[in-house]
Amino acid sequence: GNSVTQMEGPVTLSEEAFLTINCTYTATGYPSLFWYVQYPGEGLQLLLKATKADDKGSNKGFEATYRKETTSFHLEKGSVQVSDSAVYFCALSLNDYKLSFGAGTTVTVRA
């Protein structure tokens, strides 16, 4: 079946530090890959996506590259801010209506 594994954290960083959240996947076929972010008390927002191998998704200083050879989609940001404190979910989707989510990573950025 399809599944997503991401580092669970929690991750605590200082402002301006470098953030990496690892995400690997298992899928039968060629999935689309997503990172969603959930700020405290809110719903999920799409942060970035990639639909095929070697695509790089980017948004708000975050980047992730679809690596088919390592089945990975790691999220990175070069300099985090307090406002980046949130829960981050890696997810995949094939054309079967469903999103398969990772367990989520809680990130806390301290001033």
Partner 1 sequence: DTEVTQTPKHLVMGMTNKKSLKCEQHMGHRAMYWYKQKAKKPPELMFVYSYEKLSINESVPSRFSPECPNSSLLNLHLHALQPEDSALYLCASRNLADNEQFFGPGTRLTVL
Binding site for partner 1 (CB under 8 A): 31-32, 34, 36, 42-46, 49, 51, 87, 89, 93-95, 97-99, 101-104, 106
Closest CA to 76 of 12, 33, 22: 22
User: H or E stretch including 63?
Assistant: strand 62-65
Whichever of 29 and 70 has its CB closer to partner 1, that residue is 29
d(CA 109, CA 111): 7
Minimum CB distance to partner 1, residue 79 (Å): 25
d(CA 100, CA 104): 12
Whichever of 42 and 69 has its CB closer to partner 1, that residue is 42
Minimum CB distance to partner 1, residue 41 (Å): 8
